[in-house]
Amino acid sequence: MKGIILAGGRGTRLAPFTRLIKKELLPVYNKPLIYYPLMTLRNSGIDDVILVSDPYNIHAFLDVIGEGEDLGMRIRYAIQNRQLGIADAIMQAKIFFEEGEPVAVILGDNIFTENFKEAVKEFSKGACIAVTQVSDPERFGVVSMEGDRVVKIIEKPEKPESNWAAVGFYVYDGTVFKRIEKLVPSARGEYEITDVNNQYLQEGSLKCAKMKGEWFDAGTFDSLLSASNYFGSKK
């Protein structure tokens, strides 16, 4: 299975630093942020990765992580010319995948202290999304469940029905690219990954992996600080 890391966002919540430095290259304790999702993929058994970013910052990633040889990985690059959402970013990596090949997707600003080796190993078809309980579910795709079964996903609802949120790790079967091709933009003009997940859900082929470790959505100063403190304490 190959992996995709999405690193094309503007990082506006981390301005003014992100006017000069790509968000995923900011430091988290003693490593650039991008190292953490890379290690999550590698520790999950995935060492062939496509990194998707904007055309202005590809060179910066090449300078820092190159083609992955120092990490024991193979890293290739795809460009997202316009920021049209997570699903659109995934499509930019399609050229690297064979027909029907499954894919693991991780957001470049998400830090996990556990890996998804079991979920990747057991995956065969459909989709699997990582979920965790959060204090501010209205910021995320909110997942309603009956036991371990996902029954509903709503993107950033004003009144969340649960505190379970879909976080930045997904595994999809080879039909995901065809599904994305048929999407229409949401009200905010983006191709939403929640719409893709809901397609699998409606077909009864969406599973979830409940996280047990820590998770940092490192797109704010507070979360970057929390992540740095966490890894610094593990030294």
pTM for this structure? 0.94
Domain boundaries, the chain: 2-233
**Region 184-196: what's the mean pLDDT?**
91
Instruction: Return the DSSP state at 214.
Output: -
Mean pLDDT of 192-214: 92
- The torsion region of residue 100 among left (phi > 0), alpha (psi -120 to 50) and beta comes to left
- If pLDDT is split at 50, 70 and 90, which confidence band does 146 have? confident
CATH (residue range 2-233): 3.90.550.10
Q: What per-residue confidence (pLDDT) applies to 223?
A: 92
Q: Across the chain, which distance is largest between two alpha carbons, in Å?
A: 47
Q: What is the CA 75 to chain-centroid distance, rounded?
A: 16
pLDDT band at 74, cuts 50/70/90? very high
CA 114, 218, 129, 97 dihedral sign is: negative
pLDDT score, position 209:
92
Q: What is the mean pLDDT of residues 164-190?
A: 94
> Which residues have a Cβ under 8 Å from the Cβ of 178 and sit 6 or more positions away?
none
CB 62 within 8 A of CB 77: yes
Does a cis peptide bond (omega within 30 degrees of 0) precede residue 102? no
Residue with tokens 């699903």: 87
Looking at the chain, how many residues does it have? Answer: 235
Burial category of 214 from C-beta neighbours within 10 Å (exposed 0-12, middle 13-18, buried 19 and up): middle
Specify which residues 5 forms β-bridges with.
Answer: 51, 106
Structure tokens at 205: 């082929």
Mean pLDDT score, 37-57: 96
Share of the chain above pLDDT 70, in %: 100
Distant-in-sequence, close-in-space partners of 133: CB < 8 Å, separation ≥ 6:
163, 164, 165
Q: Which range among 9-13, 60-64, 114-118, 167-171 shows the weakest confidence by mean pLDDT?
A: 9-13
Q: In this structure, what DSSP letter does residue 119 have? A: H
> 148: burial class by Cβ within 10 Å (0-12, 13-18, 19+)?
exposed
